[in-house]
Amino acid sequence: MAARRAAFLASAGLAWVVAAGAAVAQTPGLVVDAASGRVLFAERATDPWYPASITKLMTVYVALEQVQQGRIAMNSLLTMSETAASQPPSKLGLRPGQTMTLENAIKVIMVKSANDVAHMIGENLGGGTVEGFAEMMNAASQRLGMHESRWTNPSGLPDFRQQTSARDMALLARALVTRFPEHDGLFRIGAVKLGQTVMRNHNGLLGRYPGADGMKTGFICSGGFNVVATSTRNGRRLIAVVMGYPSSKERDLRTADLFDAGFSSAGWSAQTVDSLPPSASMTAPDMRPVICGPKRKQPREDDEQQLALRAAASGNAENPIASLFSGSALGLGPAGTAALGSRRDLGPRVAFEPIPVWLGASPGAVANEDGQLKGGRGRRVTRVAGQKDRAKPAGRTAPGPAAIAFTSSEPAPIAAGIGLAKPKAAGAAAKPKLGAITAKPTAKPEGLNPGANTAAAKARAKPKLKAAEAKADKPKTAVARSKPATRE
């Protein structure tokens, strides 16, 4: 059995060791002192890997660099294009033509990990195309010495050409911390609020691990669950990078234990993060068979907790080696893998007060802001207490958030009845004014008084037809009155 598991790991491009009779997968891990750059722990730190949404840290770095150089301001308005709006989830759901300041856009991608907003940043700063922005990302990577990184998009959506390494992401995190200290708060936001919609941060360390103060998570099937995290204790700040885990829970536990080990270390290592030797691997391993299984569709980063519940359990036919990453299987092995420690849970999360964000240039510039977002899969958000979704009526389009938010107790106007069930004839007859207006062309009155004209017409009629006309007059009037009400 152990040999079969080892062969499966090898086929996925994973290094492995045998510890306590169980195979232990080695995925990239790195702990660095933020101030000195000294390495406290390194494992496959320079192996190429698919970054997923931790790519957005590179997007933010390029944006802040542009701000620092005076080419754009944090309050500059960015416009959503049709291409950006069409990006797959996770997304905010902005419509083409809507605007948001650069600062709010950065807050949204750091918390919600919105791919449409990241694409919008790339287009607006890259000369109208994400290809232009990708060139800016690659140029910045070279200046930082990120040798294993290649960027093709600002969101981290799957692209086999887009790769990075734990070492490169630690270099990037250190550059963000040291070069832009005035913007450090962007990476520790627990939640944001747009209108009445509250969006929580995907980073499970924030509010749960003591001292955790940033940065970004990411997930795609080919790369697994990744995180770049920072934590501060007694004035000392560490950077941890963990990649390739099959669930957010196990990724967070691994990161927490690496932080514990790092804070317990004196940190006198002579090796620095920029001096780590290159990897013999040239291509990132595809973790999809390991993380998602051959038949499971790709989950979204919004679904981290649900995926963790499915993938962490052993005996999963679609994920046969999920148990190899569990806390009980990851122990101290002869190849030097770091022990996870005794922690099996990080405990409940602190409730964060959401930071407000808005559409347009200033708060209140766009009324009912959350109602302006598109519905559908991209609208994966946590609603505030008391706000409920309404069921979609058969044969009609369900009202959007704006309609729900502004539902009034006053009677609906006439236009609101369009498409509803037809009223009864008795109810229609209760509208004499509307009926009289419709009856005018039919009766062809000669004067301004319809009653007088009707009487004159009866007086001129032949005596033998008076009774029949008197009987027919009432039905005609009723029909004339009912027709316009039926069309409403």
Averaged pLDDT in 10-residue chunks for the chain of 488 residues: 46 44 66 96 97 98 98 98 97 96 98 98 98 98 98 97 98 98 97 95 95 96 97 97 94 96 82 94 92 65 46 36 36 39 79 95 83 55 38 36 31 32 42 42 41 44 46 44 38
This prediction has a pTM of 0.70
For residue 383, give both structure tokens: 């609603």
Q: What residue type is assigned to position 5 of the chain?
A: R
Q: How far apart are CA 46 and CA 87, in angstroms?
A: 30
Q: What is the pLDDT of residue 372?
A: 78
Largest CA distance in the chain: 122
Quote the distance between the C-alpha of residue 360 and its chain's center: 20
Q: Rounded to 5 degrees, what are φ and ψ at 87?
A: -65, 145
Q: What is the pLDDT of residue 291?
A: 87
Identify the CA nearest to 52 among candidates 352, 343, 307: 307
pLDDT of residue 207: 95
- Could you say which DSSP state residue 372 is in? G
Q: What are the phi and psi torsion angles at 77 (to 5°)?
A: -85, 135
For residue 468, with 0-12 CB atoms within 10 Å meaning exposed, 13-18 middle and 19 or more buried, which class applies? exposed
What is the pLDDT, as a whole number, of residue 378? Answer: 38
CATH annotation of 28-319: 3.40.710.10
Whole-angstrom Cα distance, residue 318 to residue 310? Answer: 10
Residues 6+ apart with CB under 8 A from 46: 147, 148, 165, 166, 167, 276, 277, 278, 279
Tokens of 40: 């406290």
- C-alpha to C-alpha distance for 286 and 267, rounded to whole angstroms: 34
User: Alpha helix (H) ranges present in 233-354?
Assistant: 248-264, 288-291, 304-311
Start-end of CATH 3.40.710.10 domains in the chain: 28-319
